[in-house]
Amino acid sequence: MSAEEPEDPLGVLQRWEAAGAPWRVLGRGRDGLTIGLFSCDGGEEMSRFTSDQPELVAYVDHRMR
């Protein structure tokens, strides 16, 4: 499981969503958001990353309202 920030964190999250798989915010801190990407059945965490990319933070904040 990788915790490194991907080159395009928002793109990764949007592709994950488009595939119908769930994700969750696992934490918020000075380093940004930690996002967990889960299997389609919602059980197993497949990957995670942390990013402070402003577009990602805005996207997640909008989706959580």
- Is residue 1 assigned to a domain? no
- Is residue 57 assigned to a domain? yes
Sheet harboring 23-29: ordered strands across?
Answer: 23-29, 32-38, 45-51
Question: Tell me, what's the pLDDT at 5?
Answer: 78
- Is residue 4 assigned to a domain? no
Domains: count for the chain: 1
- Is residue 40 assigned to a domain? yes
Domain extent, residue 35, equals 9-63
45, amino acid identity: E
- Is residue 43 assigned to a domain? yes
- Is residue 20 assigned to a domain? yes
Angle at 37 between CA 32 and CA 40, to 5 degrees: 160
| Burial class, 16, CB count within 10 angstroms (exposed 0-12 / middle 13-18 / buried 19+) | middle
One pLDDT digit (tens) per residue for the chain, 65 residues: 446 678 999 999 999 999 999 999 999 999 899 999 999 987 899 999 999 999 999 999 998 76
- Is residue 37 assigned to a domain? yes
